[in-house]
Amino acid sequence: MGAMFVAQKPMEVEFADTNKFARLAELLCDVPSQTLTSKGFAINVELRFGVAKISNASVSFEIRLSQAYLKLDLRNCTIVRGSRYADADKGKRRTAKQTYISSSQKSAGAKIEISSEPTATAGASINGKTSEEITATEVLDPVIALPDTIWNVSEQSEQKALSGKYLGDENLCTVMVDEDNFSIDVSLFCYAADVKISKVYDSSKGVFARLSPLKQRCIEIFVAKSIKQTKDEIHISESRLKGQRNHGSDPN
């Protein structure tokens, strides 16, 4: 019986994820096996947000984020031009057309449509009663690719906190390997202005306290518990990829 040939992987890659505040932000990175070649691969990033409770001996509070940033630092590899997720021209981004009726007929409700162009009308009639129909158009994309291999994640309303899944259904980007040994650091960070704090409980007094006097103290506690703070960036999650190209594998 002849020897059995076992195909060798074009390269070995491994991610290690660290989520310092698992209920605030969850970052999970992976390389889909079907994208792996001797030249490069795609990176898939799952990203979710929620609310976390943080406490120390004197105070406890809940924390959310109004926006966050995802950054890739690459060594011996580069992002393939045109492969970055959410890198569409502003004019091509999907928009939502929301039409609502301003009248006493609340039962009319609101209708949501997907449209590429804004429209507006007035003087609509509902059940024989004249009312005003207003259409508002806004960009739906909560994720936008920025320069310097950074993605911004935010909601359209500054008052709304990040909640739920924002990335993971599509690959973040495709990477071309330049050397046999390579690495990628994926960092999730925010700034102090992005932090939303609520339900502050002063343990020393046994009461819920007003936010203003304790906000800076809460942020300092948050920063102290984070992975690190660099240039005002508060790093809350990270994922590190280490890879090595295997010689003698399929060149495709």
CATH topology of domain 12-93+141-245: Immunoglobulin-like (2.60.40)
Helix (H) or strand (E) holding 189: strand 181-190
What's the mean per-residue pLDDT of the chain?
81
Q: Please tell me the predicted confidence (pLDDT) of residue 125.
A: 44
pLDDT of residue 2: 43
For the chain, the domains span: 12-93+141-245, 94-140
Residues 136/154, Cβ–Cβ less than 8 Å:
no
Categorize the per-residue pLDDT at 207 as very low, low, confident or very high, splitting at 50, 70 and 90: low
Per-residue pLDDT, averaged over 47-72, amounts to 94
Q: Which of 130, 126, 92, 91 is nearest to 111 (CA)?
A: 126
pLDDT for position 120: 44
The number of residues making up the chain comes to: 252
Q: What is the pLDDT of residue 133?
A: 54
| pLDDT (0 to 100) of residue 249 | 53
Mean pLDDT within 8-26: 93
Task: Provide, rounded to the nearest whole percent, the portion of the chain with pLDDT above 70.
Answer: 71
More confident position, 41 or 2? 41
Strand partners, 102: 132
- What pLDDT is recorded for position 118? 45
Average of per-residue pLDDT across 197-212 = 73
Say if residue 26's pLDDT is above 90: yes
Q: DSSP for 97-116?
A: EEEEEESS-GGG-EEEEEES
Can you give the pLDDT at residue 214? 80
- How many Å apart are CA 191 and CA 10, to the nearest integer? 39
Percent of the chain predicted with pLDDT > 90: 57
Lowest mean pLDDT among 121-125, 134-138, 197-201: 121-125
Average pLDDT over residues 101-110: 46
Collapse the DSSP code of 33 into the 3-class scheme (helix H, G, I; strand E, B; otherwise coil) and give the result.
helix
Looking at 59-63, 68-72, 126-130, 147-151, which range is the least confident one?
126-130
